[in-house]
Amino acid sequence: MKTELFNILKNQYFIVFIAIALGILFGRTLLKALFKKLKETAKRKQFRYSEVLFTSLYNISFLLGVFVVVNATRLLPFEVAYGSWHRQFKISLNVLIVSYLIAEVLIYIYDSYTKSKSGKATSLYHIIIRILTYIGGIIVFSNLIGFELAPLLTALGVGGLAVALALQDTLSNLFAGLHILAARQLKPGDYIKLDSGEEGYVIDINWRNTEVKTLLENVIIVPNSKISSSISTNYFTLQKNMFFQVVVGVHYDSDLEQVEQVTLETANEIMKEYAPKLTSFRPKVRFFEFGDSSINMKVWLATDLYENQFEMRHEFVKRLHKRFNKEGIVIPFPIRTLHLPDSLKIESQNNLQP
């Protein structure tokens, strides 16, 4: 009886089945709890890149458990006569897990570097890193099991043209996204405006689309090919400071020196309150035309974020209007002087008489 039980325990299929079951249990209990704890700790301490890595490991915790337990079966105190299938199974499992781990670690390194430099990362590079890593894993796997890839690659090369034609739009968007990132035209976090009128912050550039979040918190999804072929304005290409102007008109009888001084004082107040970090910028006032009823000037202001200009403009107009009233500076209504011929004057007077 003991001999039969021992033979059952030494059965290769039984051992692998038990190893897989224990691995899933180990992964779903201990490893999953461990990665969840690490993920929460990274989130609490604001380690953004580590949080992403632990989230990826948390998602495949059961596979990692199987990977650990299956490889630990070699430590059994007795010999087991495994078949050739066992070797291929272990190779497949090991290559799969190792490829996944390498891909996630490379993405972690990329995110850490990119976000530390520019503040944002893009998922298109995540996809490329995963594809290249998995291709490398397939090559390693084929070499380990003795499978020749050359005939398969030849067959894929023949059918590649048909696949490329079928996926023409998808490939166009993919290479357009790569071109945008390689040329550094856009990156996540930039504020852009397309020639079609859409504008907002770039959230992500993936294999097909560019996601743009508007100031109203809506997300616009634009194909990468449209982005690369359209005329767009990137407000963050050289610097993130946004310069804007407010047009103001004052009466012809105004003292322009006083107007300039009062306007600059108000503009400096606004700058100190809404954009204190822009210490190198000074507001400017420039008179630029004699209008129909006023002398017009442009007031140049700046902000550190695109959307802040609207609130700054709103507050500046309110405060300047109040200050002008206090200083006796008049903002005139539009005025038109009409010159009528004498015949029209007489006719209009006759029409007015009872």
CATH number for the domain that contains residue 313: 3.30.70.100
Same domain, yes or no, for 24 and 136? yes
Q: What is the pLDDT of residue 151?
A: 66
**Residue 117 has which token pair?**
């430099």
Rounded CA gap, 269 and 339, in Å? Answer: 45
Domain boundary among 90, 112, 147: 147
User: Is 338 within a domain?
Assistant: no
Percent pLDDT > 70 in the chain is: 76
Model-wide pTM > 0.85: no
3-state secondary structure of 183: coil
User: Is 230 within a domain?
Assistant: yes
Same domain, yes or no, for 96 and 127? yes
4 vs 20 pLDDT, higher one: 20
Domain boundary among 88, 121, 147: 147
Same domain, yes or no, for 227 and 306? no
Same domain, yes or no, for 174 and 143? no
User: Is 305 within a domain?
Assistant: yes
Same domain, yes or no, for 222 and 281? no
Q: What are phi and psi of 192, to 5 degrees?
A: -125, 160
The domain total for the chain is 3
Domain around 260: 242-327
H runs (alpha helix) in 81-192: 84-118, 123-145, 150-166, 168-182
Q: Residue 1: pLDDT band by 50, 70, 90 thresholds?
A: very low
Spell out the residues 6+ positions from residue 210 whose beta carbon is closer than 8 angstroms to its own. Answer: 177, 180, 186, 202, 204, 221, 222, 223, 224, 227
Same domain, yes or no, for 166 and 234? yes
CATH code, domain carrying 189 = 2.30.30.60
Closest C-alpha among 263, 261, 259, 239 to residue 250 = 259
| Position 267 pLDDT exceeds 70 | yes
User: Is 345 within a domain?
Assistant: no
User: Is 97 within a domain?
Assistant: yes
Question: Which amino acid makes up residue 235?
Answer: Y
User: Is 36 within a domain?
Assistant: yes
Same domain, yes or no, for 125 and 20? yes
Same domain, yes or no, for 19 and 115? yes
Question: Would you say the C-alpha torsion 97, 99, 100, 104 has a positive or negative sign?
Answer: positive
Same domain, yes or no, for 70 and 30? yes
**Residue 18 has which token pair?**
């038990």
User: Is 351 within a domain?
Assistant: no
Average pLDDT over residues 264-268: 93
Q: Are 121 and 110 in contact (CB under 8 A)?
A: yes
Q: What is the pLDDT of residue 200?
A: 85
| Position 263 pLDDT exceeds 90 | yes
Same domain, yes or no, for 7 and 104? yes
User: Is 350 within a domain?
Assistant: no
Same domain, yes or no, for 113 and 162? no
Q: Residue 340: pLDDT band by 50, 70, 90 thresholds?
A: low
Same domain, yes or no, for 23 and 121? yes
3-state secondary structure of 160: helix
